[in-house]
Amino acid sequence: MQDHAKTILCRHATGTHPPPAPTYRPLSSLQVLSSTTAPPNYDPNMEAFISLGKEEAMVLSEQWINSLIIKVIGKSFSVEYLKTTLQRIWKTNHQIRFIALGRGFYNISVPNEEVREHILSQGPWFIASYMLIVQPWMPGFIPSQAIISKAPVWISLPELPIEFHSLPMFQRIASEIGTFIKTDTKALEQNRVRFARIQVLLDLAKKRKEAIWLGAFKQPIYYEEIPHFCTHCQSIGHRSERCPQKPVDKGETEDGAEEENT
Ligand SMILES: [Zn+2]
């Protein structure tokens, strides 16, 4: 199977904000933009400062809050090709507006919430076998500083006792592992109740938890199809030893292989 990944994380918005529901609006991260006082390291001789209150930051962000940021990993395509391909694979006749952000990133505006949810929750998406990463827009996004380290991953909780089978509990469990996206609805039905599956947004740069304690009960966590993550260039889609940004050196191949052997 090929890697799948859909998330870009911006350094300016790494604050964790627990998700109350499968919502993708980064409301709390809007504070990233607002500041009414100059920072302590502000140099008035060399720099200027414009005060930006929360309300104003909200107004500035409003038209972008439902947009998405995308990037094809490992290949550049023309905007026209991307447009037609994405409309086809996302099965939408609506116009998708593209804005190039640089470094292969695009901001795209989708026609409605239904299409947006479909794009974010389904997938992984590929364009001519190249992986497409998709994530909700975030304020303060800077392409050159974007770290691509989060991807949606299915986790399963084998033989999770029946009393823990509820959406709120699944959300609590997911938030300890990553960010809750959705649950396999069949897992909540009576006949498949012993097999709980949850899709979480997992930070691949972090060490994975192998189990979770639910009070006094220890539950193992299984991960399905974890995409490769390169620790060298901090992006999803290839192993470190195959990093295109790494100078090829025969003597180095063994050094770069250590973190993928999980
Ligand atoms: Zn790399």
Give the model confidence (pLDDT) of 162-188 as tens digits.
Answer: 899 888 999 999 999 998 878 876 655
**From the CA of 241, how far away is ligand 1's center (Å)?**
8
d(CA 257, CA 73): 21
pLDDT at residue 248, as a whole number: 65
**From the CA of 231, how far away is ligand 1's center (Å)?**
7
Q: Is residue 213 part of a domain?
A: no
Q: Is residue 204 part of a domain?
A: no
Q: How confident is the model at residue 190 (pLDDT cuts 50, 70, 90)?
A: low
**From the CA of 215, how far away is ligand 1's center (Å)?**
39
pLDDT at residue 29, as a whole number: 52
Q: Is residue 116 part of a domain?
A: yes
219 pLDDT above the threshold of 60 = yes
d(CA 200, CA 179): 5
Q: Is residue 205 part of a domain?
A: no
d(CA 247, CA 249): 6
pLDDT at residue 191, as a whole number: 58
**From the CA of 232, how far away is ligand 1's center (Å)?**
5
**From the CA of 236, how far away is ligand 1's center (Å)?**
8
Q: Is residue 41 part of a domain?
A: no
**From the CA of 250, how far away is ligand 1's center (Å)?**
17
Of 1-5, 192-196, 216-220, 244-248, the one with minimum mean pLDDT is 1-5
Q: Is residue 132 part of a domain?
A: yes
Q: State pLDDT tens for residues 22-68.
A: 333 444 455 578 899 999 999 999 999 999 998 898 888 888 888 99
**From the CA of 103, how far away is ligand 1's center (Å)?**
15
pLDDT at residue 9, as a whole number: 40
Residue 234's closest CA among 140, 117, 128, 146? 146
Q: State pLDDT tens for residues 87-141.
A: 999 988 888 899 999 988 999 998 888 888 888 877 678 888 787 888 888 888 8
Under 8 Å between Cβ of 135 and 67: no
Q: Output Rg (C-alpha) for the chain, integer angstroms.
A: 20
Q: Is residue 179 part of a domain?
A: no
CATH number at residue 106: 3.30.70.330
**From the CA of 73, how far away is ligand 1's center (Å)?**
11
**From the CA of 23, how far away is ligand 1's center (Å)?**
30
CA quadruple 192, 193, 194, 198: dihedral, nearest 10: 90
| pLDDT-above-90 percentage for the chain | 29
pLDDT at residue 45, as a whole number: 95
**From the CA of 101, how far away is ligand 1's center (Å)?**
21
pLDDT at residue 186, as a whole number: 65
**From the CA of 244, how far away is ligand 1's center (Å)?**
6
In this predicted model, which residue has the larger pLDDT, 12 or 214? Answer: 214
**From the CA of 3, how far away is ligand 1's center (Å)?**
14
258 pLDDT above the threshold of 50 = no
Q: Is residue 218 part of a domain?
A: no
**From the CA of 229, how far away is ligand 1's center (Å)?**
8
pLDDT at residue 69, as a whole number: 92
5 pLDDT above the threshold of 50 = no
Domain containing 235 equals 229-260
Q: How confident is the model at residue 18 (pLDDT cuts 50, 70, 90)?
A: very low
**From the CA of 127, how far away is ligand 1's center (Å)?**
19
Shared-domain flag, residues 19 and 141: yes
The residue from 147, 166, 199 where one domain ends is 147
Count of structural domains, the chain: 2
In this predicted model, which residue has the larger pLDDT, 75 or 27? Answer: 75
Under 8 Å between Cβ of 76 and 86: no
Shared-domain flag, residues 142 and 235: no
Shared-domain flag, residues 108 and 234: no
Compute the average pLDDT of residues 252-257.
Answer: 41
pLDDT at residue 13, as a whole number: 37
The residue from 147, 178, 204 where one domain ends is 147
The residue from 130, 147, 164 where one domain ends is 147
**From the CA of 246, how far away is ligand 1's center (Å)?**
7
Q: Please give the mean pLDDT across all residues of the chain.
A: 79
**From the CA of 35, how far away is ligand 1's center (Å)?**
35
d(CA 106, CA 77): 11
**From the CA of 235, how far away is ligand 1's center (Å)?**
6
